[in-house]
Amino acid sequence: MDRRGSVVEPQSGLPSPSPRDPLLSPDSHMDVQGYKWVRWRVWLCRLGAVLSLGLLLIVFHWRPRLGVLARCCSCPPALADILLIRDVSGQQHVVDVLTEEMEDGSLELLGELEVSEWRDTVQLYKEEKTLLRYYLFEGLRYVWLDRKGAFCRVSVLSEDWTCKDLYGLQKGLSHLEQSLRRRIYGPNVIDVPVKSYMKLLFEEILNPFYVFQFLSVTLWMIDDYYLYAICILVFSIFSIGISLYETRKQSITLHNMAQLVTDVTVRRNSGAEERVSSKELVPGDCLIIPQEGLLLPCDAALLAGECLINESMLTGESVPVLKTPLPAGEGKYSSETQRRHTLFCGTQLIQAKGGGPGGSGAVAVVTSTGFFTAKGNLVSSIMYPQPINFRFYQDAIKFLLILGFVALIGTIYSFVVLFRSNVSATWKELLIRSLDIVTIVVPPALPAAITTGTIYAQRRLKKQGVFCISPPRINICGKVSLFCFDKTGTLTEEGLDVWGVMEGRPAGFSELVPDPSLLPPGPMLTGLACCHTVMLLQGQPLGDPLELKMIDSTGWTHQEPEGDGKVLDAEFGGHKVLAVMRPPAQRLQAQGTSTSEAVAIVQRFPFSSALQRMSVVTVAHGGRSALAFIKGSPEMVASLCRAETVPAQFSSKLRRFSSEGLRVLALAYKPLDSNSDFRTIERGEVEKDMQFLGFLMMKNLVKPESAKVINILRLAHLRTVMVTGDNILTAVNVAKSCGMVGSDEKVIFVNATPHTAQSMPTLRFSLEDGATAAGPCSIEVITWGLYQGGFGYHLAINGKSFAALCDYFPEYLPKVLMRATIFARMTPDQKTQLVKELQKLNYRVGMCGDGANDCGALRAADVGVSLSEAEASVASPFTSKTENISCVPLLIREGRCSLVTSFGLFRYMALYSLIQFCSVLILYTVKTGVADLQFLFCDMALVTLLAIVMGKGGPSDQLHPSRPPASLLALPVLGSLFIHSGMIILGQVSALLITTSQEWYVPLNSTMFGTANLPNMENTSVFALSGFQYIIMAVVVTKGYPHKKPLYYNVIFLCLLVILFSLMSWLVLYPGPAVCRIFQLYDFSDMEYKMLLIAVAALNFLICFFVEVLIDVGILNCLRSLRGKRPSKKQYKRLHVLLSDSPSWPPLNQTLSPADHTVICLS
């Protein structure tokens, strides 16, 4: 057997917010290697750990793979004690293989599972035992399957369930079956471990940063730097204490949020019902849901009754959702495709009815438990976030390696200098002095310092009502180059007002009726009143705001069954009644009950974004006149209608209303056989051969803030894109209203058709109506105007064309994505796919949405912003309480400010190290050193205070067209550090030379070395200038315009600069005997000399500041011209250049096939 296996991760069928969605994790396999313990190797490693004083164990803690290789030998995963796992992001993990003893003969209870799939027989004391081999990774349980030759998620055992299988489980499980499944699937808990303070402390101090700091403190102690070492130790203990408190507090919060244990009622195969703890639930259990609802402890498929669910915890969508029974059939069950029939863990079930005895409650079958549920996956995404691929963080590691190389050179130099100048020094003293250089060049506080800007930005965002669950993404906000927006509820108002109704007949459309209540009695009026999923809760209607407005416009009243509902059932021919819609009393009197009468809804098929429609089945009094009504997107409804019932003017009317920005819905109906069993009727049977009824138009106003924000983003050269499920013409109208498409810009529609039995795939680009009416000659003129005359154009594409484009014209996809602004009729999966495709072009993509349909895209985007009144939800990294897109520029400004601050702090900490590095090496060269208190003063009073308040400056009020850089290894950054380092060395050497050139200069005692030579003139002069340099560099690297407010807005920083400058000036000019004694400074009496030192510091400041200004305006770019112009590394920039040079693209009014493509090459 191969020693390298894989973990098969089947599609888990979770709702779109799940981070394990196949679209979000396209590579669904993990590499697994098996290892067995080797006893002699284990004992050898234990001996090595003792001899190395635990250092070997620390190395194994940092690199678990080394620990496994040292103590184990490779073997097939089926026989392994230990597994080495490489996940999809390339990170390695070590897990133990666990076993569970199964009862003899229990395997036969799971007839649908192959026994050989998961049993492992061992001979132990001559007794055969059946063992289940499994391991736990990120909360998920993986079991060994012989048939697949791999460890698979335990959910694979139930992934092939069909709807028919689920209905078969409605009878319940026996106690023995339930016990067996619990051993296989594990307990139904989302367990977030809360570690003890001791364990957290152990993990924290083994962090490489703290280990390095501990070794530094030990070195300083040996070197008699007691005071400095103690201060750093106290500071570190304080820092660790705060970190432990915050970490444990967050763990407790997440534990409380994730933990859900309650008592539930399940049905056994004997027919009896019993109360059990939700921890004991397993897939296949039959769950009895009470009428008053409950907080769901698992994922379950609804089999009987209707449930009203609040899913805001998962999606941020506050509107309750109606769930209906799963359709019976042979089709495979998937919680994603059947999400309107699936109850998700962690959601609040408000009301259940129509499924239990007496018409109350509902019945469901458990499909997923624990971390395999929707809530479990979202909790897992918080506990184990995906690594953030951001250049700034990658470059920070590389930069530390560069500093490490500098430290190595400094160590060698100092060792040579010390060895040559101090013959009496022991090897121990030489080694300690040399290693001390490493603690200076690689600042231990660097990782903490660069997060300061992010912390300040997060606090400011919270004050503005924007909550963040992933602080590192704040810096990524600063690099966003494209932002996608949902339309309804994001760019436009959530609420819709009924604008009018137009009935359609084969002969044509009737006149527009502004008020639906004025419609004559008939199918159109009945359809408007009945085709919805609104429910009553304590007498108040709950549901989609659009449907609430639609019902309200008809004037009909809503009634639901009371008690067991038998009274209403009898009134309507014995059919199971879900709701009754009754016309206004005056209409009954005026028109008579024969044409406008109460109607009972007996079956509902809820709205699905993927299907773009919903439908209901109704009956009149006595069960007669059974009708099916459908409501949805006009294109979808028309495709389900008989062609002869759709008016010829359908397309022109739809185009007219949509282009006016109206939300257009179509309705259709058909008679059904009254004797049918409507409880078991299939959706496909209902939604076909319909008769077209007409249009319902609703006005959806653009939010007043939308146009302003889009204009701000356009002026900042940030591309904006609309991604909506609405009609393409409605979307174009909204895009024009909010400024995404300018008044002088053209819209070109992209129409792609898939391959069918009758036709080949085609692709066509056509100008919007009005532009092509003049014929071929004008097309040439328009084309010339588009490409040569500077007119802008935007592409618009719908979901069907987008799917065909991806499948049959992949060579055109990047070009369409580069110019497309409007994506209409997009399903939730297509929204996620769009974000991914844009990221492939190297865009940093932002996504702003407000509902469940956007969750996949929000999580896939680099920056996802959910407009929701829910708490900082796990639906996206950012949640804004503001119900408009004004939070987007704020987020980008804060991101840019945070990124610039992080850059500044990183450079400052690097320069601080280099200043101290230069000081020490210069003083080592002249046989002296830096005093303990001098180190302490520079590190604590100067650098630490400045680093803490440097990041407090807020973001600029305006978004600038340029984005801040994200690379620490770019020419301007490295160039400025190199020049500033040169100025630092020059300044300190100048101070030393000025001192030695004075008439009163007294040379050092050459028989002594290091701090034993203090106080002396050389040390005092170098200390004085280096003290000023710490302050100078804080000013030089603190950026203001264009991404941060000017320096004078950061009042605390400004005041601190003045105080520290005054303090340093006092230490140089008038230190006094007491201060000189404490700091071991030489008290110069020559005032002219001391003023000259300050003048050198001022000159150092002016030169560095001037150099930084020149670098900011791009003076170093002249060096790039020497190597010649290179194409951008970003694909979208290269593609933009190539498209600008392509005068014939897109080819208007030409039908293209996959064979006639012209590829624009990006290589």
**What is the 3 state secondary structure string of 1043-1059?**
CECCHHHCHHHHHHHHH
Beta carbons within 8 Å of 582's beta carbon, 6+ residues apart = 556, 557, 559, 598
Q: What is the DSSP letter of 690?
A: B
**For residue 959, what are the contacts with CB-CB under 8 A and spacing of at least 6?**
712, 713, 715, 716, 718, 889, 892, 893
CA distance 872 to 248: 19
Q: Where are the alpha helices (DSSP H) in 318-451?
A: 374-383, 391-421, 427-441, 446-449
Distance, in Å, from the CA atom of 785 to the CA atom of 795, rounded to the nearest integer, reads 16
What distances in angstroms separate CA 383 from CA 255, 368, 380, 956, one per listed residue? Answer: 10, 20, 5, 34
Q: Among all chains, which residue has been given the structure tokens 């007496």?
A: 358
* Residue-by-residue DSSP string for 1094-1150: HHHHHHHHHHHHHHHHHHHTTTTHHHHHHH-----SSHHHHHHHHHHT-TT-S-BT-
Give me the catalytic one of 285, 395, 486, 854: 486
What CA–CA distance (Å, rounded) separates 823 from 886?
Answer: 22
H-helix or E-strand spanning residue 916: helix 887-925
Q: Which residues pair with 763 in a beta bridge?
A: 752, 1152
Helix/strand/coil for 322: strand
Distance between alpha carbon 920 and the CA centroid of its chain, in Å? 46
Q: Where are the alpha helices (DSSP H) in 809-886?
A: 813-819, 828-840, 855-860
Residue with tokens 């803490």: 948
Is-cis flag, bond preceding 1146, omega within 30?
yes
Has 677 been annotated as catalytic? no
Alpha-carbon span 1000 to 1006, nearest angstrom? 18
For residue 841, give the nearest of 821, 804, 813, 822 by alpha carbon: 813
Angle at 937 between CA 934 and CA 939, to 5 degrees: 105
- Per DSSP, 268 falls in state B
Q: Where are any strands of DSSP class E within 51-126?
A: 72-75, 82-86, 92-96, 98-102, 120-124
**Measured CA distances, 443 to 212, 912, 919, 924, 949 (Å):** 10, 9, 15, 20, 18
Q: How far apart are CA 544 and CA 550, in angstroms?
A: 10
Q: How far apart are CA 840 and CA 844, in angstroms?
A: 10
**The dihedral formed by the CA atoms of 874, 876, 879 and 883, expressed in degrees to the nearest 10:** -120
List the structure tokens of 602: 């007996």
What residues contact residue 179 under an 8 Å CB cut-off, 6+ apart? none
> Which residues are tagged catalytic?
486
